[in-house]
């Protein structure tokens, strides 16, 4: 401790170092379909933190990790088809960590435990600007063939925080199979309108995420959106993404 310029005592703190998970993971390969991004990112996150994609390592992570690495391990257990993880996933699905719970429920559904989707439906009721789980649940339910989370995605796209809007944006491609179908509240699902909203967002990352997804969308949906974006945007980086999406060999 020392004295400040006015004679008061100054408290000097030692250097403090806080360790957390390494979040620096490589981008997905350019030829990897967007529907595989979640699986890639979960495994890449584990690998960046010295957790291999081997079944034994993932099972150990389910018992020994917390927070984002626990959620990633739960996701990986589903993507790798680890039936031996079912008891621990069931425990996590009923646990207090909302992100790990929805990841575990999705993994259980992928492993054939359809009763786990109740956890995903419950998560939809949480506020999108306070929790990650409702937007993750909406995304995962759509992947499983259930568009019940569409109102949550709409709310996320209009959210206050970029993180919420980005999570909502990442779910858009999963709702393409439900385009023009009646929603739960009677309105038709309009995926093009959702993409338009993302492309008008003031955040460059949001716009880029939407453009990347459109590379993998049916051409009848993607081409008008991409052409309008090119006609109105002066952001050269994003215009490059739009041109790549137009020229991509994605679904026709």
- pLDDT class for 16, splitting at 50, 70, 90? very low
pLDDT of 31 strictly over 90: no
102-143, pLDDT tens digit by residue?
999 999 999 999 889 999 999 999 999 999 999 999 999 999
- Percent of the chain topping pLDDT 90: 81
**244/226 Cα distance (integer angstroms):** 10
Confidence bin at 38 (pLDDT 50/70/90):
very high
pLDDT at 56 exceeding the cut of 90: yes
User: Are 246 and 223 within 8 A, CB to CB?
Assistant: yes
Residue 142 backbone dihedrals phi, psi, to 5 degrees: -60, -40
CA–CA distance, 47 with 243 (Å, rounded to integer):
32
Q: Residue 3 pLDDT more than 70?
A: no
Angle between helices 219-232 and 204-214 (to 10 degrees): 140
pLDDT number for residue 13: 43
* DSSP sequence for 229-245: HHHH---HHHHHHHHHH
What does pLDDT average to over the chain? 90
At 201-225, the pLDDT tens digits run 999 999 999 999 999 999 999 999 9
Q: Is the pLDDT of residue 68 over 90?
A: yes
CATH assignment of 32-120?
Answer: 1.25.10
pLDDT of residue 1: 43
């Amino acid at each position: 401790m020392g004295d400040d310029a006015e004679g008061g005592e100054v408290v000097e703190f030692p250097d403090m170092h806080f360790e957390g998970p390494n979040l620096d993971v490589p981008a997905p390969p350019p030829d990897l379909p967007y529907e595989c991004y979640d699986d890639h990112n979960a495994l890449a996150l584990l690998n960046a933190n010295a957790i291999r994609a081997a079944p034994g390592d993932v099972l150990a992570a389910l018992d020994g990790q917390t927070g984002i690495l626990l959620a990633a391990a739960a996701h990986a257990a589903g993507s790798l088809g680890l039936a031996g993880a079912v008891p621990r996933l069931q425990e996590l699905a009923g646990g207090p960590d909302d992100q790990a719970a929805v990841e575990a429920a999705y993994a259980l559904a992928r492993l054939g435990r359809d009763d786990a989707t109740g956890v995903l439906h419950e998560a939809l009721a949480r506020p999108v600007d306070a929790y990650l789980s409702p937007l993750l649940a909406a995304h995962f339910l759509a992947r499983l063939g259930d568009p019940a989370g569409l109102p949550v995605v709409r709310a996320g796209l209009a959210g206050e925080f970029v993180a919420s809007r980005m999570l909502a944006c990442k779910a858009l491609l999963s709702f393409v199979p439900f385009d023009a179908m009646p929603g739960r509240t009677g309105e038709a699902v309009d995926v093009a309108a959702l993409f338009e909203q993302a492309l008008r967002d003031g955040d460059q990352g949001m716009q880029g995420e939407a453009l990347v997804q459109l590379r993998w969308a049916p051409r009848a949906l993607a081409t008008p959106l991409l052409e309008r974006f090119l006609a109105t945007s002066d952001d050269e980086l994003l215009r490059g993404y739009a041109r790549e999406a137009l020229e991509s060999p994605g679904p026709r």
